Structure 1
Amino acid sequence: MSYSEVWDLDVFFKGGSASPEFAQYMNEIKSDIEKLDIHISNWQVTSTDGDEQVLASIMSQYEKISSRLMQASAFIECLAAQDVKDQGAKQLGSQLTAYIAKAKGITAKLDEKLVQLDDGFFAELIERDSLREISFILNERRNKAKEKLSVAEETLIEKLSVDGYHGWSDLYDSIVGSIEIPFVVDGEEKVLSVGQAHNIFAHPDRSVRQRMFVEWEKAWKKQEELFAHALNHIAGFRLNVYESRGWDDFLKEPLETNRMKKETLDSMWNAITDRKEHMHKFLQRKAELLGLEKLSWYDLDAPLDQTEQKRLSYDEGAQFILKHFASFGQQLTAFTEKAFEDAWIEAEDRANKRPGGFCTGFPESNQSRIFMTYSGTLNNVSTLAHELGHAFHSYAMRDVHPLNQDYAMNVAETASTFAEMIVSDAAVNEAQSTKEKIAMLEDKIQRTIALLMNIHARFLFETRFYEERKEGFVSADRLNELMVEAQKEAYFDSLEEYHPLFWASKLHFYITGTTFYNFPYTFGYLFSLGIYEKALHSGGEFEEKYIALLKDTGSMNVEDLVRKHLDEDITSKGFWEKAVDTCMKDIDLFLELTQSQAVQGKKQ
């Protein structure tokens, strides 16, 4: 079976960024927002039965607008990702940002109305038939509204954010889109996009990786002053808003957004930190196997043995994923086959594509789209499985009330990492030789290192950067220092050379829609390990339980979610220790299988 490596967007709107159909769709969104504004403004709160019908009608309108904004956002994101030079997509993105800001300003009025309702009446109201299904969402909105500024002030913030906040993120994307890195690959001089250039760090030849790292650093160094301004102003805007609201903790927003407690976050990081020495042993062993005293940043993704590294065509990668998904459940397999057959995936390795990968949902069409650059590595296959997991999460929630489908990023990473685990674990188990098993196992452990060490470095950096940003502008030189300090701590000082400009090269630091775009990845990874362990011991019937858990992810706090479906307390370190120890078992096996090779390497 041959699958297309280019996604189909015409099924949504034909003509790309110049689509007349999409232009009409955007006009309809604008009109719907204006109608919602009038409806909310005309609502005279009385804390009587008359409020039920009004609120139910408003929430129905809001549901429609939310779905349409997500549909439009997904389409624009896909256009911008497939061609960073698409100016039309950038203009549409700016237009949509303004619409979203307008909608947020209007829903601030809704939140004010919710606060005006008598506490006792509100508690009784949301349990009525017309509103019970979205009671969690309404209660959450009301509680958050109590901690915000007046409607006029919050609306002004949203208006100013278009150019004073999101604009810095747009600037970053524009600069990154223009970066080209000249590089000689296999004797041929090419001009690479940053996405293509990043794939070179998985090259088996260290001299090639090293040359790329030099060029990589040069590329980001040229723009570091602009990136420093963008990062500082994004953080500065956030901190000013927090201060105005009376919030003294910059983690308040990301924790509330992820519906989790600070105790949960601290317990997770403490469990990871306690086991850093074990991860350090893996990095030391990998260095020995590569004939090095210590790994450098550009060695982290290096394959151990060129002869043992499989290169899979896109179709082979697809079949690999389908084969192993089939070992888990029929619904996941059937869904994934549909995604491949209906061209939901943009995987072609070509110039002018955005770096990285993502999955985005088209809620009105009940479809998703996956973006990545596929070059045939096992890591690419894992990334593809990861993004398919995201898409399956949306599919699993297709019958859930639309307003209960807005799950937080930490649980969003659960389904994706779970899907990734199915593929990577099965790949290790079916290895045909010890060398192949080592290669597969190392690829799997690389993700543990990335999620428990790399992500930890990002969290440490961002936390310390925000502390210093409270006192004023943080220079590019200081950002470099903070990044290296964070990397040394997170990697247990295991590396010889670090990546000081990682703060400039990592898109996640510049995402304005989500603050602290880091720790949810680690949460999702470890949470998924707990689910995966249960799946291994539950047999084929577990898929239904898994889908039941996914359906609840948009309407529960994570502590309650885990207590309900896994009967665990995630505010305690014990849950996280068990999850991290699952990763350590992989490292133990790797150390055992490579012991003789390491000894031989030392003798040489």
Structure 2
Amino acid sequence: MPEQTLLSPWVEGFPVRAAPVRMALVRDGGEGAAPAPVGDLPRWDLSDLYDGRDSDRLRTDLAQAASDAEAFSSAWRGRLAGASPAALAEAIAEYQRIDEILGRAASYAQLLFAGDSSDPAIGRFSQSINERLTEISTHLLFFTLELNRIGDDDLAARLADPQLAVWAPFLRDLRVFRPHQLSDEVEQVLHEKSVTGATAWCRLFDETMAALRIPLDGRDLTVGEALNRLSDPDRAVRERAAKAIGTVFGDNIRLFSLITNTLAKDKAISDSLRHYPRPGSYRNRSNMVEDEVVDALVQAVTTDYPRLSHRYYLMKAKWLGLEKLEHWDRNAPLPAADDRMIPWDEATRQVLSAYEGFDPRMGEIARRFFDRPWIDAVPSPGKASGAFAHPTVPSAHPYLLLNYHGRTRDVMTLAHELGHGVHQVLAAPQGYLMSGTPLTLAETASVFGEMLTFRALLDAETDPTRRRLMLAGKVEDMLNTVVRQIAFYRFETLVHDERRSGELLPERLGALWRQVQAESLGPAFTFAPEYDVYWTYVPHFVHSPFYVYAYAFGDCLVNALYGVFRSGHPDFQDKYMDMLRAGGTKRHRDLLAPFGLDAADPGFWRKGLDVIAGFIDELERA
């Protein structure tokens, strides 16, 4: 899953710290008791960060960071304008050192909370750490603000010095936010109040969702476990699960509507203060991509709804023997689908084989995650649903969270998150401030890892029926990654635009949700009334507004990139590894140029969408 802000690295539309969690796209599966056939699943060991909530090292780190932050403020506040290039480079290096200490503590608290957000003690610890980090980082807030007040010509002259030039990518990306920067006093107030503002509402959402139980067939299921029933082969089971989920979400709709309205209004206030032209503009700036590029992506996908999702789901309805599909049929397995459980060991072999087959260097990094306790795959109550990869800090290593149920989709999720992990390991030498990539590139390695795994499995399969089923499954995953996520983006856009004129009632939120779902899924579907509340469980809407288009961006980018690979492009593996190693030091245009690709080219998105359409063409011929 990649950017999740359990402890937000951003404050009200202005960057404060780096290393966001990479959130996985919602695949309608999650927590719950793991079936026995999947084997022994790994649990992570967070002691590489800290050995417990009462860790002496954690106390020492926080105390040292507080002291160092105060000293840093005393040494540099008001002095950056006249600092020499060498002195400025020294200051940035010290800022990064202190910031990484804070990032380590934040990562530990985030991972603990993700592992069990239903434990009040962990919730209290997470909030306490968040408050402490906010207090400490208040002493650092001046630094980026003062850096942005240095004139363009002045800074350009100083960057001619090699010592400062090392930090050019950091300064370049920071200055994207320069036109939206507020006074130091306002920035500090927004920073300090963030723990009782958006962050607190995010915590309320997480704890509420973790505590919900869905009564189904004599059991009380977690949300993730109930959502997993929407992929059951038995349509009656899917229908009962869908209605039970809808009932529970409906019972809590006022709370979820309040959270959504409050966060949307909070964002609108911030956007207005900072003069962002529209609700998604801050996200685009942080992704280092122009509004127009995102508009081109959204326009390309929505225009292609008929030849992609509409066409596929009409075929699926026929395969299932149904005149119309209900929302609980969207992820239904196809007739004759192999429903066998895939043990964890087999999933590990499949994914590692694909990674190693592409490049042994990438396979070696991927294997570390299995040889060491860096993965938590056991579904359990209170655990965050879905999956994510957390880079933590360069001085440590990434961690992966999964909820492994032994399905093919879970294998693809493993391949996806492992791609993030490999990317984060390769980029770590760039340092804490420059290793993180914009979301527009963050999904490249993850989606590419999925494609490698899928292609390896497809190429090894000789049975025509199984190949057709595998191809259909891949099409569904791609539609979930591209069409579904753009529909999510459209929903967010409509909600945030309308919220500026007043609070949205739950019924209006439901109507907007139904509108975008009907547009994206097409005439094959009818929607039962309970589906109007299904927007409530998507965590991206709460934690990371307008994050979701990054999945479509990444999928289309990878489709084009994979086409270059399959064409035999010279030195592709070396260029690909260099792209991942670059972290956040280069923009998408520079990173894609060695492959002959340009995301600003209107035809770029067509290349990616043509891959999906080609798979559907093949299914029609089968």
TM-score, normalised relative to structure 1: 0.91
For the pair 1:453 / 2:486, whether they are aligned, the reply is no
Q: Is the 8 A contact 1:5 1:314 kept in 2?
A: no
Output the CA distance in 2 between the equivalents of 1:309 and 1:350.
Answer: 22
Where does structure 1 differ by over 4 angstroms across 4 or more consecutive aligned residues? 1-4, 102-108
Q: Is the 8 A contact 1:13 1:19 kept in 2?
A: yes
Q: Is the 8 A contact 1:312 1:377 kept in 2?
A: yes
Structure 1 residues 250 and 580 mapped into 2: Cα distance closer, same or farther (>3 Å)?
same
What whole-Å deviation, never above 9, does each CA across 1:246-283 have from its counterpart, x for those lacking one? 33322220110110012211221222223221221111
For the pair 1:287 / 2:317, whether they are aligned, the reply is yes
Match of 2:330 among 269, 285, 300: 300
Q: Which residue of 2 aligns with 1:111?
A: 144
Match of 1:442 among 472, 475, 482: 472
Q: Which residue of 2 aligns with 1:599?
A: none
Structure 1 residues 38 and 218 mapped into 2: Cα distance closer, same or farther (>3 Å)?
farther
Q: Which residue of 2 aligns with 1:602?
A: none
Output the CA distance in 2 between the equivalents of 1:115 and 1:429.
Answer: 52
Task: Please give the residue correspondences for 1:487-566 in structure 2 after superposition, counting only pairs within 5 Å.
Answer: 487-497=517-527, 499-511=531-543, 514-538=544-568, 541-562=571-592, 564-566=593-595
**Could you say what secondary structure the match of 2:389 adopts?**
strand
Output the CA distance in 2 between the equivalents of 1:551 and 1:295.
Answer: 44
Q: Which residue of 1 aligns with 2:422?
A: 392
**Could you say what secondary structure the match of 2:433 adopts?**
helix
> 1:568: Cα distance to partner?
2.7
> 1:89: Cα distance to partner?
2.6
> 1:436: Cα distance to partner?
1.0
> 1:108: Cα distance to partner?
4.2
Structure 1 residues 119 and 281 mapped into 2: Cα distance closer, same or farther (>3 Å)?
closer
Q: Is the 8 A contact 2:169 2:584 kept in 1?
A: no
**Could you say what secondary structure the match of 1:403 adopts?**
coil
For the pair 1:14 / 2:51, whether they are aligned, the reply is yes
**Could you say what secondary structure the match of 2:163 adopts?**
coil
Output the CA distance in 2 between the equivalents of 1:405 and 1:64.
Answer: 14
Q: Which residue of 2 aligns with 1:45?
A: 81
For the pair 1:62 / 2:106, whether they are aligned, the reply is no
**Could you say what secondary structure the match of 1:311 adopts?**
coil
Match of 1:211 among 207, 217, 240: 240
What whole-Å deviation, never above 9, does each CA across 1:276-327 have from its counterpart, x for those lacking one? 2122111111111111112222222211135523420111111111122222
Counterpart AA for 2:274: R
- Bigger shift: 210-219 or 300-309? 300-309
> 1:64: Cα distance to partner?
1.5
Output the CA distance in 2 between the equivalents of 1:203 and 1:480.
Answer: 25
**Could you say what secondary structure the match of 1:497 adopts?**
coil
Output the CA distance in 2 between the equivalents of 1:219 and 1:561.
Answer: 46
For the pair 1:92 / 2:125, whether they are aligned, the reply is yes
Output the CA distance in 1 between the equivalents of 2:405 and 2:336.
Answer: 15
What whole-Å deviation, never above 9, does each CA across 1:439-463 have from its counterpart, x for those lacking one? 2112111111112221111111110
- Bigger shift: 343-352 or 254-263? 343-352
Q: Which residue of 2 aligns with 1:480?
A: 510
For the pair 1:5 / 2:53, whether they are aligned, the reply is no
Q: CA RMSD in A?
A: 2.2
**Could you say what secondary structure the match of 2:323 adopts?**
coil
For the pair 1:318 / 2:348, whether they are aligned, the reply is yes
- Bigger shift: 258-267 or 307-316? 307-316
Counterpart AA for 2:540: H
Output the CA distance in 1 between the equivalents of 2:552 and 2:140.
Answer: 31
Output the CA distance in 1 between the equivalents of 2:175 and 2:607.
Answer: 36
> 1:99: Cα distance to partner?
4.4
| Identity across the alignment (%) | 24
Counterpart AA for 2:600: T
Q: Which residue of 1 aligns with 2:169?
A: 136
Which structure has more relative contact order (CA 8 Å, sep 6+)? It is: 2
Q: Is the 8 A contact 1:431 1:440 kept in 2?
A: no
Structure 1 residues 180 and 336 mapped into 2: Cα distance closer, same or farther (>3 Å)?
same
Output the CA distance in 1 between the equivalents of 2:132 and 2:171.
Answer: 22
Output the CA distance in 2 between the equivalents of 1:240 and 1:322.
Answer: 47
Counterpart AA for 1:402: Y
Structure 1 residues 271 and 390 mapped into 2: Cα distance closer, same or farther (>3 Å)?
same
Structure 1 residues 27 and 89 mapped into 2: Cα distance closer, same or farther (>3 Å)?
farther
Output the CA distance in 2 between the equivalents of 1:516 and 1:368.
Answer: 24
Structure 1 residues 297 and 322 mapped into 2: Cα distance closer, same or farther (>3 Å)?
same
Counterpart AA for 1:135: A
> 1:167: Cα distance to partner?
1.0
Structure 1 residues 28 and 591 mapped into 2: Cα distance closer, same or farther (>3 Å)?
farther
Counterpart AA for 1:177: A
Counterpart AA for 1:124: A
- Bigger shift: 78-87 or 170-179? 78-87
Structure 1 residues 542 and 479 mapped into 2: Cα distance closer, same or farther (>3 Å)?
same
> 1:418: Cα distance to partner?
0.5
Q: Is the 8 A contact 1:111 1:142 kept in 2?
A: no
Q: Which residue of 2 aligns with 1:152?
A: 185
Q: Which residue of 1 aligns with 2:11?
A: none
Q: Is the 8 A contact 1:370 1:387 kept in 2?
A: yes
> 1:429: Cα distance to partner?
2.3
Output the CA distance in 1 between the equivalents of 2:120 and 2:446.
Answer: 31
Output the CA distance in 2 between the equivalents of 1:76 and 1:330.
Answer: 34
Output the CA distance in 2 between the equivalents of 1:373 and 1:389.
Answer: 17
**Could you say what secondary structure the match of 1:500 adopts?**
helix
Q: Which residue of 2 aligns with 1:173?
A: 206
> 1:169: Cα distance to partner?
0.8
Output the CA distance in 1 between the equivalents of 2:409 and 2:296.
Answer: 29
Q: Is the 8 A contact 2:80 2:147 kept in 1?
A: no
Q: Is the 8 A contact 2:202 2:542 kept in 1?
A: yes
> 1:530: Cα distance to partner?
1.6
> 1:30: Cα distance to partner?
3.1
Q: Is the 8 A contact 1:328 1:422 kept in 2?
A: yes
> 1:430: Cα distance to partner?
2.0
Task: Please give the residue correspondences for 1:377-416 in structure 2 after superposition, counting only pairs within 5 Å.
Answer: 377-416=407-446
Q: Is the 8 A contact 1:553 1:561 kept in 2?
A: no
For the pair 1:235 / 2:261, whether they are aligned, the reply is no
Q: Which residue of 1 aligns with 2:31?
A: none
Output the CA distance in 2 between the equivalents of 1:276 and 1:146.
Answer: 36
Counterpart AA for 1:131: L
